[in-house]
Structure 1
Amino acid sequence: MSTLTVALDDIFPEENPYAWSPTSSINIQEFVSKYKPSMVQNDGTRPWIWVRKELSPSDRLAEEYVAAKEASELLQKVTERVEEIKNDRSIPVRSSKKTGAKSKKELREQEQANATVRLKEISQKHGYVCGKWLSFAPSDRVDAIWASIANSLASGPLASTVASSAKVATSPGHETPGYQHVICIYVPDVYDRDSVVEVMKVLLRHHGVNLSGVKSDLYTSIGLDSKHPSGVPSTVWKNTALLPDSEIRELKEAYYAEVMSAKKVEQHTDQNRESAPRKPGHRKRKAETDDPFASDDGECAKAKPQIQPHGSDGRDHASEQAQENEGRKAKKSKMLS
């Protein structure tokens, strides 16, 4: 991949259905609902979903290309020097206080630190200082995390910071167990510590995200990552270089406490709704045809069975007894005659 192509990966794509800006035809809520990173697969043409806070066109590709070319040459020299140190048998593995000789590790770290300083100088000289906060999210949580950040950037806490845009990686075209979606939140100047910290605090306090440092777009352009053979740090800032661990933890705990409190309120509201007395409704009269005691011929549709005084078979036992007595009398009279 060419240097310029890599640099373009950090530029907001205009007129792209997977990129939202204030001029888009749908609002941000509809956009994040329609294009979810866990559902959009990268077929080679849609590796990212983007959101931009405001229109801020910048035509600095020429300067950025010059900066990337200069930085790439520097990185190549550093890589070669690090390899030389590694293979130089005259350099001790351990430093010596007696002779003052530095170890291989110390010499490599010195070269890498010098490279970091030179990369900053190149960035600032050419005005190529933009970059991004990095975060990673698993597939089962990325949709919620991305929606929170996107909405915040459009009209929430992030909108009041220098953060200009954000993007999230879509899903791979094939099944990848344990895949992590990278999320980038862009800032105009990675060397402006105060602005970078401001964005960091919002991401921690209002979104509870796990941050992985601040990376310069120049670093991305020259292919400087954590596995680069030069060993030069792939981020301009690590989290703890900006805020102490204790403060990072406090900000995230405050976020999760707020989330739990909101859930409890929601549960309490649901319980109250379920336990609220219901208003008595009007009972509907059953249709005549629904009467289980109705006559099959319809002549006595409203008649109900009567409980019989004798027996349970419904016959008139009193009438039967009278008939039996009359029969006995008739039989006795016949015998006397």
Structure 2
Amino acid sequence: MPIFYGSGALELNGFIEEYTPTKAPYSQFGPLIYIKKDRSRLGLPTSARQNSRALIEGQRILEEAKSKLLRDGMHEHTGDPKDYSYNGTSRWKPVFAKCKDELQQVAIDHNFTYGGWFDIVRWDKIDDLYSRLAHSLINGPLKNTRAHSIRVTTTGHPRLPRGMHTICVLMPDSFDREASKRVLEVLVKYHGWVPEGCKPDFFLELNLTHIHQAREYSCTFAPNNFFTTRELHDAKFTLAPRSVLRSSTPFSRGPKPNPRQPT
């Protein structure tokens, strides 16, 4: 898995050129490419045992919430008893909220708070966005925030739709409201990029993935927690170059990828 550590612009340029997301196949390089400020592991479990305990406890919380929702008749409304991401009925919202609060406490107790702002981006937009955020982290405005790394998926990732990539700006503590807000401010005001949400890696490990439907309960924060819709729109279309104006459109609502894109 390609990982860049360091601060040199020339070295970073060489790394980005060699490991461009659309030219780095999953089969050759694995699922992810990282750009990191340093080699620290803040916000991650210190042992495999601690990691396992956190996941076991998290799965228990999710199963209890699922059982509660099914007992309350969620399947009667959704048509699918497995569809417990649905949150359209007010009497179920406290169950989702309680589950999220309990998962947050488990993450904090087990030092599993690493995570950050993410988006799902089309193949023809990802390379430019990845390069700009990487340079910002190492030698630009993101360097002065709590952002720690940039993570992007390689081409042909089996858990993503064809032609799509996820990109994340990661922090040691994705539950830290002020740190998350500061990183988002840089992303929006300096880069014109409006991410989908802020999600802990702990939630990803529990399969509350980047394409999970109930964003309110599978993310710690959303951009609208800090900016108005108008502010986000204005920043996106005022500051962002044409090449990334639509880069933050989730695949579920965005245009279909070009069938000729590289795989």
CA RMSD of aligned residues (A): 3.0
Q: What's 2:197 paired with?
A: 213
Q: What's 2:114 paired with?
A: 130
Q: What's 1:78 paired with?
A: 65
What amino acid does structure 1 have at the position aligned with 2:168? C
Once residues 157 and 230 of structure 1 are traced to their aligned partners in structure 2, the CA distance between those partners, rounded to angstroms, is 31
1:68 to 55, 62, 80: 55
| Deviation sequence 1:71-105 (CA, Å, 0-9, x none) | 1111011111111212698x9xxxxxxxxxxxx92
1:36 to 16, 20, 39: 20
Q: What's 1:204 paired with?
A: 188
1:127 partner SS? coil
What amino acid does structure 2 have at the position aligned with 1:107? R
Q: For structure 1, list consecutive stretches of 5 or more residues without a partner in the other structure.
A: 1-15, 92-103, 261-337
Q: What's 2:220 paired with?
A: 236
Question: Retained in 2: the 8 A contact 1:205–1:254?
Answer: no
TM-score, normalization by structure 1: 0.60
2:26 partner SS? coil
**1:160: how far off?**
0.9
**1:64: how far off?**
3.2
**1:40: how far off?**
0.9
**1:109: how far off?**
1.5
Q: What does 1:147-158 correspond to in 2, within 5 Å?
A: 147-158=131-142
Once residues 188 and 67 of structure 1 are traced to their aligned partners in structure 2, the CA distance between those partners, rounded to angstroms, is 17
Question: Retained in 2: the 8 A contact 1:215–1:235?
Answer: yes
Q: What's 2:152 paired with?
A: 168
Give the 3 Å change call, closer, same or farther, for CA 230–158 of structure 1 in structure 2: closer
Is residue 251 from structure 1 mapped to residue 251 from structure 2 by the alignment?
A: no
Question: Retained in 2: the 8 A contact 1:213–1:239?
Answer: yes
Task: Give the paired residue count.
Answer: 227
Report the structure number with the largest CA radius of gyration.
1
| Deviation sequence 1:14-69 (CA, Å, 0-9, x none) | xx5x2111189x70011111211111111175111110012314561343332222
Question: Retained in 1: the 8 A contact 2:100–2:218?
Answer: no
Q: What's 2:30 paired with?
A: 46
Q: Greater RCO between the two (CA within 8 Å, min separation 6)?
A: 2
Once residues 172 and 68 of structure 2 are traced to their aligned partners in structure 1, the CA distance between those partners, rounded to angstroms, is 32
Once residues 255 and 229 of structure 1 are traced to their aligned partners in structure 2, the CA distance between those partners, rounded to angstroms, is 29
Q: What does 1:179-190 correspond to in 2, within 5 Å?
A: 179-190=163-174
Once residues 249 and 229 of structure 1 are traced to their aligned partners in structure 2, the CA distance between those partners, rounded to angstroms, is 22
Once residues 234 and 81 of structure 1 are traced to their aligned partners in structure 2, the CA distance between those partners, rounded to angstroms, is 18
Question: Retained in 1: the 8 A contact 2:31–2:157?
Answer: no
**1:134: how far off?**
0.4
2:100 to 96, 103, 116: 116
